[in-house]
Structure 1
Amino acid sequence: MTSPELTRARDLLGHLVSEPEATIEDFRRLYEQVLANFEVPSDGKVEAVDADGVPSYWVSAPGAADDQAILLVHGGGFCMGSAKGYKEFGYRISKASGARVLVVDYRLAPENPFPAPMDDVVSAYRWARQQPGIRNVAIVGDSAGGNLVVAALVKLREDGDVAPNAAVACSPLVDLAGEGASLTERAHLDPLPAAALVEAMGGAYLAGKDPKETPLASPLYADLQGLPPIRVLTGTDEGLHDDSIRLVEKLREAGVDVELEIGENMIHIWPLFNFLPQAQESTDRFGAFLQKHLADSPAQV
């Protein structure tokens, strides 16, 4: 039986596709309406910063360590979403991990297609690494943000940067070819028309590029060797379920330390919905994962 909280979360996701003729601007407005349900508690500390040209917010819960940082990369199909709307999620991640969270406002497609959003994430990460007193940095993202997290890990490895200490990808969209069987097999469970959104918004991000020939845009097809520890979350009731399953399989084949959490009856990006008990439980678990890897790693500069 579906709980009232889960019904509310499903309704909020459904709100994203409540206007059949929606334009990109309409989708952006609808997503901000969803995100407006989540407010940073009064004890949260929020500071707007310029992370090497990427507008961002430092968000801290009480007691967060000044020397540990987590980059938070919002979802929204590469075309919508904002750092402003994700500040509350950043607060909960800060509380669960004991670290400061840098919520980044990367440029959006279609105005700024690949590689602009990924480049912004990489730039913000490098900026965070260089801040005085920062010893270790992890990175978290959901949906398209999960794509950008995995892609950024690959890009940073390719460029010879110090790797993030750990990463979390919630319901990541990593196959822009849209070949996951769950896109059709679980479509009846998902409040979102995931296959159509992957085609439309993934297409806007790719701007004509072949996803299998552009692995930094569609990182399921990337070389994943040598990446830091990753925790991947997916729900049973989402069309993108198989993106996570296939990503974890590839990570394991590549020898990466990877953990998988499958949320029973959970929908796309369920940790975002702060009123959902399962959301807080999942956030606490991946917060502990991040805290462990930030604390266990030697300071990296």
Structure 2
Amino acid sequence: MSGGLISLMLTTALIGGPVVPPVAPDLLSDAARAGLEADAARPSAGPALRDRRARAEAIQQEIGRARMARYGVTMREALMGDTPVRVFEPAAGAAPGVILMNLHGGGFTVDAGSMTETAPLAALTGRQVVAVRYRLAPEHPFPAAIDDAASVYREISSTYPDARIVLFGTSAGASLAAELVARLRRDGEPMPAALGFFSGTADLAGGGDSLDMFGDRSAAAAVLGAYLGARSAQDVEASPQRGDLAGWPPTLCLSSSRDLLLSSTAAFCRALDEAGVSARLVVFDALPHAFWAYVDAPETDAAFRTMARHLSLSELPR
């Protein structure tokens, strides 16, 4: 397996075993092929969790800063309540009325996306993006991350009572975003105006063909055990796909054909559709898990444009 961000994300993000085929297919752009090859050449961070977290942050800074410069986006570190956040603003200033809230990927144990998932979307939507740096497992198992996310969501709601909040996440962050929607519904609180569910699972007790093809169920079970602690994966608070999805916000589900969570992403999208929710699935060809978080290529630009149309609410009626 790659020693770079792919292995970092995938060995900690519900992944174990080889996820990316050793040779990128010819149908990918030259930039995508080069990006995957460059990532595969990165040195390993080593097995210690603190080293993986440090490596993840270094890569966030490396790729994230480059994207901020490219898109003309600024970032500031802040606290909302007791939770650290990263707040992104487009160069011309954020348009009012909509605020984006991100829950980053990283297998619940590292921050593998709070900069790289968010900077392009601040520019493409023209909106402020708040990336929640929630507490991480295994030190802080379920529901600590959801408690942090709910706290930030409520602070945004109280600070900007007239704004609509749009929630999105990648990989573990997609799972957390779905769990947050379930929490808000349980507590009778206002729901997000829209949801972006990117390469995640809303059923932590599930799996699917793509996990068998590109992942390792025993490694995934170990990661989920660290996250869930004493909570059952079949609990609807942790696996909201097992509960009632009627009335959920309009949702964009996005994945790729070599993503170990493609099956889980598609299953959640189908479950939303069956519940009468507006749900759309977009699948990119021949690319690995959460490729937009660490590969700069035309395919990544297209993925962010697709996300931005949904997250800016331009595809939804007011």
Into which bin does the TM-score normalised by the smaller protein fall?
0.7 to 0.9
Aligned to 1:190: none
Q: Contact between 1:171 and 1:269, CA under 8 Å: does it hold in 2?
A: yes
Q: 1:284 to 1:237 in 2, by over 3 A?
A: same
Indicate the larger mover: 225-234 or 266-275: 266-275
Is the aligned partner of 1:34 residue 2:59? Answer: yes
Residue 44 of structure 1 is aligned with which of 56, 61, 73? 73
Q: 1:197 to 1:93 in 2, by over 3 A?
A: farther
Once the two structures are TM-superposed, the CA of residue 206 in structure 1 deviates from its matched residue by 0.9
Is the aligned partner of 1:73 residue 2:95? Answer: no
SS at match of 1:86: coil
Distance 2:274 2:41 in 1: 38
Identical positions, percent: 26
Aligned to 1:10: 36
Once the two structures are TM-superposed, the CA of residue 133 in structure 1 deviates from its matched residue by 6.5
Once the two structures are TM-superposed, the CA of residue 148 in structure 1 deviates from its matched residue by 0.6
Once the two structures are TM-superposed, the CA of residue 272 in structure 1 deviates from its matched residue by 1.7
Distance 1:93 1:46 in 2: 13
Q: 1:234 to 1:156 in 2, by over 3 A?
A: same
Distance 2:149 2:193 in 1: 16
Once the two structures are TM-superposed, the CA of residue 253 in structure 1 deviates from its matched residue by 1.2
Query: Which letter does structure 1 place at the counterpart of 2:205?
Result: A
Aligned to 1:202: 224
Q: 1:9 to 1:215 in 2, by over 3 A?
A: farther
Aligned to 2:5: none
SS at match of 1:48: strand
Query: Which letter does structure 1 place at the counterpart of 2:33?
Result: T
Q: Contact between 1:271 and 1:283, CA under 8 Å: does it hold in 2?
A: yes
Q: Contact between 2:149 and 2:180, CA under 8 Å: does it hold in 1?
A: yes
What is the aligned residue count? 287
Q: 1:206 to 1:122 in 2, by over 3 A?
A: same
Unpaired segments of 5 or more residues in structure 2? 1-25
Is the aligned partner of 1:97 residue 2:118? Answer: no
Distance 2:159 2:291 in 1: 32
Distance 2:317 2:154 in 1: 21
Query: Which letter does structure 2 place at the counterpart of 1:272?
Result: A
Is the aligned partner of 1:287 residue 2:308? Answer: yes
Is the aligned partner of 1:55 residue 2:84? Answer: yes
Q: Deviations over 1:94-122 (max 9, x none)?
A: 11212110011100000000000011111
Residue 166 of structure 2 is aligned with which of 138, 142, 161? 138
Q: 1:169 to 1:38 in 2, by over 3 A?
A: same
Residue 165 of structure 1 is aligned with which of 193, 196, 212? 193
Give the superposed CA RMSD: 2.4
Is the aligned partner of 1:215 residue 2:236? Answer: yes
Once the two structures are TM-superposed, the CA of residue 257 in structure 1 deviates from its matched residue by 0.8
Q: Using structure 1 for the length normalisation, give the TM-score.
A: 0.86
Q: Using structure 2 for the length normalisation, give the TM-score.
A: 0.82
Residue 155 of structure 2 is aligned with which of 117, 127, 135? 127
Distance 1:195 1:243 in 2: 13
Residue 47 of structure 2 is aligned with which of 16, 22, 28? 22
Query: Which letter does structure 1 place at the counterpart of 2:248?
Result: L
